[in-house]
Amino acid sequence: MRKSFVALSAAALLGAATAAPAAVINFSYALSDGIGLAGAEGTGSFETSVDDGTFGLGDVTAFSMTGTGFLVITQTDYSFDLSNLLDVNGALSGGALTDLSFSVSGPAIWDFGFPFEGNFEFTVTGLGAGNVEGSLTSFGTQDLAGDLTASVSGAPGSVPEPASWALMIVGFGVAGAALRGRRGHGAALAA
């Protein structure tokens, strides 16, 4: 009985080791070169283990960014994930995003018969006004600028994670077994 209790408790604690993100940053963006020859638009999100203060690449637990880029008359869909994230620097204060810059590397934003792949750097400025500037290092001196809309939310705390459910179920099972075992000892002593 005691060995199974220890084994079940250890398994439940190991399963409970995954933590939910402290903050989720969702954003949408629309960038243009200002003359209508190149641009990009789409959505993305960061999940960080930090809910207040600065965060870096090591604090990001999940990242995704998808969109469509255009160059003259060619359009290309693209997507980035955590493996494409090269660097990130940001800050959260009082549930609001106050600073953000990040760079990604990977699939092409434009494909004009041959893809323009490489590093794409995004620096967000004037977060109160929701502005974003994009500098695309793989496309020479081509700079894009536009708007970014971001929202920050905390991790949902009202629904337990699966590991928490497992820990609760094991705890109820162990408590039930202990009560059942005591009831059996009491009957043997009375006889």
| pLDDT score recorded for residue 161 | 64
| Coil vs helix vs strand at 32 | strand
Specify whether 95 is located in the same domain as 185. no
Specify whether 139 is located in the same domain as 66. yes
Specify whether 55 is located in the same domain as 94. yes
Specify whether 53 is located in the same domain as 123. yes
Q: How confident is the model over 40-66, as pLDDT tens digits?
A: 889 999 999 988 889 999 999 999 999
pTM as predicted: 0.64
Q: Are 143 and 33 in contact (CB under 8 A)?
A: yes
* Number of domains making up the chain: 2
Comparing 17 with 28, the larger pLDDT belongs to: 28
Given a cut of 80, is residue 190 above it in pLDDT? no
Q: How confident is the model over 84-117, as pLDDT tens digits?
A: 898 999 888 877 888 888 888 876 565 555 555 5
Specify whether 105 is located in the same domain as 130. yes
Structural domain of 137: 23-154
Specify whether 147 is located in the same domain as 183. no
Specify whether 180 is located in the same domain as 146. no
- CA dist., res. 108 & res. 117, Å (int): 4
Specify whether 96 is located in the same domain as 51. yes
Q: What is the CATH number of the domain that holds 133?
A: 2.40.128
Specify whether 169 is located in the same domain as 137. no
Chain-centre distance for alpha carbon 54: 15
Specify whether 40 is located in the same domain as 68. yes
Which DSSP string do the residues of 46-79 spell out, in sequence order?
EEES-SSEEEEGGGEEEEEEEEEEEETTEEEEEE
Average pLDDT, the chain: 73
